[in-house]
Amino acid sequence: MKKLFVGNLAPSTRENDLENLFSEFGKVRSIKLVSDVFTDECKGFGFIEMEGHEARAAIAGLDGKDFNGKPLRVNFETPKARRR
């Protein structure tokens, strides 16, 4: 299982929009959009989990692709370094 970072999303983006988009590359295991607590609008990024080969295909097919008028950023999640 691989976690993908998806960025440069429009504020109106919903989880089902991303599921429809990514499902053409394989089964979407989970989606977590980061939303504003007060407005419930997307903050511009989220995370998707897919199997490894499907995730690589999604990156190849979707990174830079226009989605809701903006070029998507799709790559493997890189966890932040631990703070001390």
Give the model's pLDDT for residue 19: 95
DSSP code, position 80: P
Range of the domain at 25: 2-76
| Assigned domain for 84 exists | no
pTM: 0.89
* Domain-embedded: residue 83: no
What is the pLDDT, as a whole number, of residue 83?
A: 59
- H helices then E strands: how many in the chain? 2, 6
Q: Is 32 inside any structural domain?
A: yes
**Is residue 81 included in any domain, yes or no?**
no
What is d(CA 74, CA 72) in angstroms, rounded to the nearest whole number? Answer: 6
Q: What is the CATH number of the domain that holds 39?
A: 3.30.70.330
Residue 41 lies in a domain: yes
pLDDT < 50 regions, the chain = none
The verdict on residue 82 lying in a domain is: no
